[in-house]
Structure 1
């Protein structure tokens, strides 16, 4: 399908009247504020170095009291930041890390006072002293229109730099702490994404799909047919930009391969004959929100939504990748897990044809990896950690389920089903986090044995 065919209207075609009114009001306020700032000389001159200008205005905003001028100053900071090049941004981030830390002497004094008299007043003083000035700064920047989106992008850029610039970690941490509050479940809106959704949202789904690439409009339309569903969480500050979305297939059996689910020429199953819900792709859309959990709420919300729409549905499962398996396999000491002559064979690149002994060894090793290889007390594999943490059970493993180059490179072509048994989700969740116990089916136990 070409982009010239009939598509849903864009977000710009039908914005809410209240949003237009709010934007006009804020625009007028900021216009007045900019005049005030210019008159007082509080906006840095055009010749000032970008990172210096940003830091000067951030210091001013931190203690600024005027509402209109504060909004204008916050907006000017955002504009300067977005125009800054990579080196200026790095210098700005370093300035945020260096110049906006809590006052250590004030913290020590407040802590000493609290130890001497653990009253509510001294506790509040200690809490105030310990809060990073960066958090107050970011909250004030966030007041400007578009501030949230820029701050999310800012954290993404900081995370990209952290490996080589560890001094930036406190800045990313402060932003994460704020995002946990700003993006809590009470602010999220669940939307069913169908072909009638705004074109801007559909374009975002194509762009953000991180598990199984969407190859254009025809592919997307196939994934939104009557036997498929797509649900996303949105936030008021990012109105047409999803935070996380899940793609769902309605089937009459638990699937063992991904290709039939993605087949554009498939025969659609009438919803009345579906008994199984398959979560086959979950994509987080903004790396800047890493560490802020949405997926667990999303799956539970979608289960409730689908149960109301189709009460006859019986099974809720995933068809999930095992993205860390071959990376672990290539670096692990396998001498106690397989015979010596098998080690080189299981570590070799996986073709589309694999001899039965190697296949059996890889299945057993993958079961071991999912259940017994841990990061701390939790599963090592990130997808396993997510679903097991949500209370799912490791149900089945499927050889040759994803024979794409990506599937063979990451997981030797294997995929797994995690089963969401609605009556045992909370029990499994508690056992996993309290005791590190992973719920597994007899089929998986047999592979481990």
Structure 2
């Protein structure tokens, strides 16, 4: 009877959670916020789990505008406890480490406590990752949500720390539910069907490695596809072709990372791709000692957008002849290989964002990981995506174990781009 009474009390609390304010809210976002306030103030662990589950279920059933209103309300109503923060500020003096630590904790927004508490529910981590993906979309229209997004990113950086991640090789014996997600998440070169997937994970000269998190054991976070070859590739077609001639993995000397896919938009800004590549290189060296060269065959997603913007602004990286050739192109036409190669080299080596990093996101990823821009290949990806992004241009980044750390430091400290002499020459104006 005592246990029944206890459970009845919990259920009564949950049922009344939506009435924790003076007036019972009718709107979904108001009900969500009311539940969040109840969750923060209710110290019962059992009730907290039930309220958290109710928040996640109600959120999952909500509409886009209701989610936007919910995010905004959370960002406004769950800031730091101002009384506790004021008290901590009054006690702080230079050199008082304990007071500084207390000030740090008092300044923490209660959104972080809210997110941590919701995450206690089994399976909540994946739902919170999906929630942040929604938040990122709404933050594009409402910059006042950036603080809430920072709270999510801060927590995710801890939860998805490299120490928690497990690297697994995906092969044809991997459970179907994971293989299906590989097909869905492939973001660079679409996997056409199960036969295509079988070639990428089952052929002896093809491998796929992924990172997983214990809270999402059947859902990859990021994966890299690898082709074992006898020479550095210049085009993606021969790698993806169903009727290609396979390379003997026992004699292969080149490992090519031809597709790297981040699987969850909600983990944007949480970097673990660099760890994956380094660990895959180490694993390949152990499994296949004949492998001596580790390169990518990478897209250049920002090229055409940069060219279009530069033509409009009168960028000095273009000669008059370049401008004339580019302006004469029809929508479905592409520049000749020589011009496309030259433009790509200039884009990747000379065009920078305000902080000094290279403008192309793929280049920034690999250069930041210590790779060297090795080669530029026109007409390498004639798919619709490849043509739309870069007129089909692809590039190689070389991961040279002896230079990775040196290149990483040069780029992260001084934004120096490690580039082969041939590409450097092409990039000169």
TM-score between both structures, scaled by the size of structure 2: 0.92
Confirm or deny: 8 A CA contact 1:350 1:412 kept in the other structure.
no
The match for 2:242 is: 264
**Secondary structure of 2:298's match?**
coil
The root-mean-square deviation of aligned C-alpha atoms, in Å, is 2.0
The separation in 2 between residues aligned to 1:318 and 1:106, in whole angstroms, is 52
Shift of 1:51: 1.6
1:100-119 matches, within 5 Å, as 100-104=78-82, 106-114=84-92, 116=93, 118-119=95-96
The match for 1:340 is: 320
Change (3 A) 1:68 1:106: closer
Pick from 221, 229, 254: which aligns with 2:198? 221
Shift of 1:425: 0.4
The separation in 2 between residues aligned to 1:80 and 1:398, in whole angstroms, is 50
Shift of 1:124: 2.1
1:298-447 matches, within 5 Å, as 298-332=276-310, 333=313, 336-347=316-327, 348-349=329-330, 354=335, 358-375=336-353, 376-447=355-426
The match for 1:70 is: 48
The match for 2:17 is: 43
The separation in 2 between residues aligned to 1:263 and 1:368, in whole angstroms, is 31
The separation in 2 between residues aligned to 1:34 and 1:255, in whole angstroms, is 64
Confirm or deny: 8 A CA contact 2:340 2:378 kept in the other structure.
no
Confirm or deny: 8 A CA contact 1:350 1:409 kept in the other structure.
no
Residue 152 of structure 2 corresponds to residue 175 of structure 1: yes
Shift of 1:80: 1.4
**Secondary structure of 2:208's match?**
strand
The separation in 2 between residues aligned to 1:193 and 1:237, in whole angstroms, is 19
The separation in 2 between residues aligned to 1:237 and 1:344, in whole angstroms, is 55
- Unaligned 5+ runs, structure 2: none
Residue 133 of structure 2 corresponds to residue 160 of structure 1: no
Change (3 A) 1:197 1:335: closer
Confirm or deny: 8 A CA contact 1:74 1:144 kept in the other structure.
yes
The separation in 1 between residues aligned to 2:157 and 2:54, in whole angstroms, is 26
Change (3 A) 1:32 1:142: farther
Aligned length: 415
Shift of 1:202: 0.4
Residue 163 of structure 2 corresponds to residue 186 of structure 1: yes
Confirm or deny: 8 A CA contact 1:370 1:381 kept in the other structure.
yes
Which moves more between the two structures, 72-81 or 330-339?
330-339
The separation in 1 between residues aligned to 2:377 and 2:123, in whole angstroms, is 45
Shift of 1:239: 1.2
The match for 1:253 is: 231
**Secondary structure of 1:379's match?**
coil
The separation in 2 between residues aligned to 1:366 and 1:350, in whole angstroms, is 19
Shift of 1:90: 1.7
Change (3 A) 1:107 1:413: same
Shift of 1:353: 7.1
Residue 110 of structure 2 corresponds to residue 133 of structure 1: yes
Shift of 1:173: 1.1
Change (3 A) 1:386 1:350: farther
1:268-279 matches, within 5 Å, as 268-279=246-257
Confirm or deny: 8 A CA contact 1:33 1:69 kept in the other structure.
no
The separation in 1 between residues aligned to 2:178 and 2:406, in whole angstroms, is 36
| C-alpha distance after superposition, 1:2-28 (max 9, x if no partner) | xxxxxxxxxxxxxxxxxxxxxxxxxxx
The separation in 2 between residues aligned to 1:181 and 1:428, in whole angstroms, is 27
Confirm or deny: 8 A CA contact 2:10 2:46 kept in the other structure.
no
The match for 1:14 is: none
Pick from 121, 138, 144: which aligns with 1:144? 121
| C-alpha distance after superposition, 1:424-446 (max 9, x if no partner) | 10011011111111111111122
The match for 2:267 is: 289
Shift of 1:168: 1.5
Confirm or deny: 8 A CA contact 2:123 2:215 kept in the other structure.
yes
**Secondary structure of 1:239's match?**
coil
Shift of 1:38: 2.3
**Secondary structure of 1:273's match?**
coil
The separation in 1 between residues aligned to 2:27 and 2:361, in whole angstroms, is 42
**Secondary structure of 2:346's match?**
helix
**Secondary structure of 2:223's match?**
strand
